Chain A
Amino acid sequence: MSSLLAHDTGTGSPPDRGDPRTVRLLTPDGVRQTSGEYAARVADLDDAALLGLYTDMVVIRRIDQEATALQRQGELALWPPLLGQEAAQIGSARALEHDDFVFSSYREHGVAWVRGATTAELCRVWRGIAVAGWDPYRIGMATPQVIIGAQTLHATGYAIGAKYDGAASAVVSYFGDGATSEGDTSEAMVFAVTYGAPVVFFCQNNQWAISEPVGLQAPTGIAARAAGFGLPSVTVDGNDVLAVLAVTREALERARAGEGPSFIEAVTYRMGPHTTADDPTRYRTADEVEAWKAKDPVARLAAYLRGTGALTDDVDAEVAATAQRAAAALRADCTALGEPDGESIFDDVYAEPHPVLEAQRTRFLAYREGFEEER
């Protein structure tokens, strides 16, 4: 089969393609690297802290699994699974401070969980009863963005504002490999560099934008693009929670020190479908998925912690029980979410009075009144 494209786009690039510049602190079989610049940035993480990261990852994977089940059972309209991206999300989110702010896409359940979103808030959008799950200012995270790449500009604007305020806040914008093709993402990098915005562009390269492989978006690589915009970039093994934490800490430190924006490419893999409505068997091979299973981010940290003796069967059972409680809470909170009154669709369209819309609300109510006997 011939290709119209100059480069093979048939598959994503593996994280261990032998590029020595890819930051990795835990090998796929769980050996921790303890020397070097990045190892030093996470040297403070003892076994207890690592168990905390492990618990986060297991819990969010279990929540993700439960949400997928809830969709299959008709309780959620849709769910975009994060399976496989736990380390990229937990590692980066755990680098954030309280006053930092996040602008994400729609798959960042792990980030939202770490920021403090409740189980009810995680599923409100996907149950189809709201278009935003939470109050952004309560958890320091904007509501998930559906337009690909649009949030990179919002993050940049917020970061410019934080800089003008003299605040110590830094901002992280999460987006995927597909978003790197959007004009907004390029414009965001231009604005961020021009104004020295304290923003971190965190790209989860999960190899697939629905059915389009990363090679179709970026045949010559993603992280290298940043240099053209004038911002430093790093490629990190996105399935290595320690390495992700280390590079995010570095980028946030740079932002807070007034040294401007940075770019992180976390190379990972979307183990599941794009959403519960997708069928990935139409565009990728089982072999590819199997190959990535061997680099599972949760199993990797487990292997390391079992090696140190921190993760015993008993401890793992406790972690699993914690995850099970979270899943049960998700199910209970999700199914308890009622449908808002229909009239609420007229609320908050405007912040100030709007007579034309109010007239439509009145007509809606009058119309509905006509059905009162049937209700």
Chain B
Amino acid sequence: MSATMTLGGAIGAGLRQAMTADPKVLLLGEDIGKLGGVYRVTDGLQRDFGPQRVMDTPLAESGILGTAVGLAYRGYRPVCEIQFDGFVYPAFDQIVSQVSRMHARTKGAVTMPITIRIPVGGGIGSAEHHSDSPEAYFAHTPGLRVMSVADPQSAYSLIQEAVACDDPVLFFEPKRRYHLKGEVATDGAPAAGGMSRARVLRHGTDVTVLTFGGLVQVALDAAEAASEEGLSLEVIDLVSLSPIDWPAVTESVRRTGRAVVVHEAAQTGGIGAELAAGITERCFFHLEHAVVRVTGWDIPYPPAKLERHHLPDLDRVLDGVDAALGRPSSYGEQAFA
């Protein structure tokens, strides 16, 4: 059985499946009930499962996460929606000091099967605090799993896997892809382990492009454009940002000898830094060039009309590919002064 769904709709359908499968799954968030969430991901769930399992919460993100900790203590499996990426910071303490540590703190007596859904990233011309990419903060935190989805099918499967996971999962949903439509197979259980496995979306031999979430399609488009110039790019959707699927990354980069990491978040201390270090450790003698990072600049997210200067697009990905191939690019000596 399959159906055409948007990425947002596929997450909603996946949540519906998860709630049907396990009565302990409940949803907490702002405006997720009657409204169905500001992106309508939870549309219809409160109507069908009731206000106890789809809880509209007071406007307090720490409150949402702290309450979820208590619910998890009691045996529930909470799915928290943070309305926008930039609103997660008030909940940061509960996530980093409590959610991430409780299982280790209690020597496994208390599990925290909490899924934290966060609409993420820019490219939608939005207001301040509505376009952040905060994944690195969480990938840096032991005890959490961090992942991002890029298309309806994986969103449908992986949200169910995230909810079923006994560890806390940060589940990043790229806002710019919410309305992307695709065919989603809805029969059968989702393949186990998918949430921690990278996916090779396009096979290539010259350069490996590593990305996730909202920029996966940008990377695929860049690969298509590059192919017209006779270049063969391999595009990998990392899916999991913590832990990173190192066997998949290593296999590809050892083969191509060149890696370009693409993400929206600022460069310094980002996922790209971890990938560059990890690739160097694992693939040093296979590398033809230093790992190249194509990222947002190290700036606060710019106003809507200027975000195109900030976000990696097709041309910036190709500029990074040029750098990885040792061709003329913006990555000259002045870039590393």
Chain A residues in contact with chain B, CB under 8 A?
A: 103, 130-132, 135-137, 142-143, 147, 150, 152-162, 164-165, 183-184, 187-188, 190-191, 194-195, 347-352, 354-357
- In the bound complex, residues from chain A placing their C-beta under 8 Å from that of B65 are 153
Interface residue B306 (Cβ < 8 Å from any Cβ of A): no
Interface residue B94 (Cβ < 8 Å from any Cβ of A): yes
Q: 0/1 per residue, B75-117, Cβ < 8 Å to A?
A: 1100000000000001001100110010111111111010000
Whether A154 contacts B73 by the Cβ 8 Å rule is: yes
- In the bound complex, residues from chain B placing their C-beta under 8 Å from that of A187 are 58, 60, 62-63, 66
Whether B58 contacts A191 by the Cβ 8 Å rule is: yes
Whether B75 contacts A161 by the Cβ 8 Å rule is: yes
Whether B73 contacts A131 by the Cβ 8 Å rule is: no
- In the bound complex, residues from chain B placing their C-beta under 8 Å from that of A188 are 63, 66
Whether A156 contacts B66 by the Cβ 8 Å rule is: yes
Whether A356 contacts B62 by the Cβ 8 Å rule is: no
Whether B108 contacts A158 by the Cβ 8 Å rule is: no
A191/B67 contact (C-beta < 8 A), A150-B98, A352-B166 known: yes
Q: How far is the CB of A167 from chain B (nearest CB, A)?
A: 9
Whether B63 contacts A153 by the Cβ 8 Å rule is: yes
Whether A158 contacts B71 by the Cβ 8 Å rule is: yes
Say whether chain B's binding surface is mostly helix, strand, loop, or mixed: mixed
Whether A154 contacts B98 by the Cβ 8 Å rule is: yes
A131/B94 contact (C-beta < 8 A), A158-B71, A165-B74, A351-B166 known: no
- In the bound complex, residues from chain B placing their C-beta under 8 Å from that of A165 are 74
A147/B98 contact (C-beta < 8 A), A131-B105, A188-B66, A355-B243 known: yes
- In the bound complex, residues from chain B placing their C-beta under 8 Å from that of A347 are 104, 107-108
Complex A-B: 6 CB contacts under 8 Å: A159-B70, A184-B66, A184-B93, A190-B60, A349-B142, A351-B111
Q: Please report the C-alpha to C-alpha distance between residue A354 and residue B67 in the assembled complex, in whole angstroms.
A: 27
Whether A161 contacts B71 by the Cβ 8 Å rule is: yes
- In the bound complex, residues from chain B placing their C-beta under 8 Å from that of A135 are 106-107, 109
Whether B107 contacts A130 by the Cβ 8 Å rule is: yes
Whether A147 contacts B103 by the Cβ 8 Å rule is: no
- Number of B interface residues in the complex (CB < 8 A): 46
- In the bound complex, residues from chain A placing their C-beta under 8 Å from that of B73 are 136, 142, 154, 157-158, 161
Q: Please report the C-alpha to C-alpha distance between residue A154 and residue B57 in the assembled complex, in whole angstroms.
A: 15
Whether B97 contacts A147 by the Cβ 8 Å rule is: yes
Whether B70 contacts A161 by the Cβ 8 Å rule is: yes
Q: Please report the C-alpha to C-alpha distance between residue A165 and residue B52 in the assembled complex, in whole angstroms.
A: 11
Q: Please report the C-alpha to C-alpha distance between residue A329 and residue B312 in the assembled complex, in whole angstroms.
A: 64
Q: Please report the C-alpha to C-alpha distance between residue A349 and residue B144 in the assembled complex, in whole angstroms.
A: 9
Interface residue B150 (Cβ < 8 Å from any Cβ of A): no
Whether A352 contacts B106 by the Cβ 8 Å rule is: no
Q: 0/1 per residue, B242-264, Cβ < 8 Å to A?
A: 11101000000000000000000
- In the bound complex, residues from chain A placing their C-beta under 8 Å from that of B98 are 147, 150, 154
Q: Which residue of A lies closest to B55 (CB)?
A: A195
Q: Which residue of A lies closest to B107 (CB)?
A: A348
**A-B contacts besides A132-B106, A348-B106, A348-B108, 14 pairs, CB < 8 Å:** A131-B104, A135-B106, A137-B109, A150-B93, A150-B97, A152-B66, A156-B67, A157-B66, A184-B63, A188-B66, A190-B63, A191-B60, A191-B67, A355-B243
- In the bound complex, residues from chain A placing their C-beta under 8 Å from that of B244 are 356
Q: 0/1 per residue, B263-277, Cβ < 8 Å to A?
A: 000000000000000
Whether B246 contacts A143 by the Cβ 8 Å rule is: no
Interface residue B224 (Cβ < 8 Å from any Cβ of A): no
- In the bound complex, residues from chain A placing their C-beta under 8 Å from that of B196 are 355
Q: Which of A137, A153, A351 contacts B62 (CB 8 A)?
A: A153
- In the bound complex, residues from chain B placing their C-beta under 8 Å from that of A103 are 70
Q: Which residue of B lies closest to A142 (CB)?
A: B73
- In the bound complex, residues from chain A placing their C-beta under 8 Å from that of B321 are none
Interface residue B165 (Cβ < 8 Å from any Cβ of A): yes
Q: How far is the CB of B164 from chain A (nearest CB, A)?
A: 10
Whether A153 contacts B66 by the Cβ 8 Å rule is: yes
Q: How far is the CB of B169 from chain A (nearest CB, A)?
A: 10
Q: Which of A150, A161, A164, A348 contacts B103 (CB 8 A)?
A: A348
Q: How far is the CB of A143 from chain B (nearest CB, A)?
A: 6
Whether A155 contacts B70 by the Cβ 8 Å rule is: yes
Q: Please report the C-alpha to C-alpha distance between residue A153 and residue B72 in the assembled complex, in whole angstroms.
A: 12
- In the bound complex, residues from chain A placing their C-beta under 8 Å from that of B94 are 150, 153, 184
Q: Please report the C-alpha to C-alpha distance between residue A190 and residue B55 in the assembled complex, in whole angstroms.
A: 14
Q: Please report the C-alpha to C-alpha distance between residue A259 and residue B11 in the assembled complex, in whole angstroms.
A: 37
Whether A355 contacts B246 by the Cβ 8 Å rule is: yes
Interface centre among A103, A147, A183, A356, by most B CB within 10 Å?
A: A356
Q: Which of A150, A348, A356 contacts B243 (CB 8 A)?
A: A356
- In the bound complex, residues from chain B placing their C-beta under 8 Å from that of A357 are 142, 243
Q: Please report the C-alpha to C-alpha distance between residue A137 and residue B110 in the assembled complex, in whole angstroms.
A: 8
- In the bound complex, residues from chain A placing their C-beta under 8 Å from that of B67 are 153, 156-157, 160, 191
Whether B93 contacts A132 by the Cβ 8 Å rule is: no
Q: How far is the CB of A152 from chain B (nearest CB, A)?
A: 8
Q: Which residue of B lies closest to A130 (CB)?
A: B107
Q: How far is the CB of A134 from chain B (nearest CB, A)?
A: 9
- In the bound complex, residues from chain A placing their C-beta under 8 Å from that of B69 are 153-154, 157
Q: Which of B74, B97, B167, B246 contacts A350 (CB 8 A)?
A: B167
Q: How far is the CB of B285 from chain A (nearest CB, A)?
A: 19
- In the bound complex, residues from chain A placing their C-beta under 8 Å from that of B15 are none
Q: Please report the C-alpha to C-alpha distance between residue A183 and residue B93 in the assembled complex, in whole angstroms.
A: 11
Q: Please report the C-alpha to C-alpha distance between residue A183 and residue B242 in the assembled complex, in whole angstroms.
A: 30
Interface residue B143 (Cβ < 8 Å from any Cβ of A): yes
Q: How far is the CB of A139 from chain B (nearest CB, A)?
A: 11
**Nearest 6 CB-CB pairings of A with B:** A157-B70, A153-B66, A161-B74, A187-B63, A157-B67, A351-B166
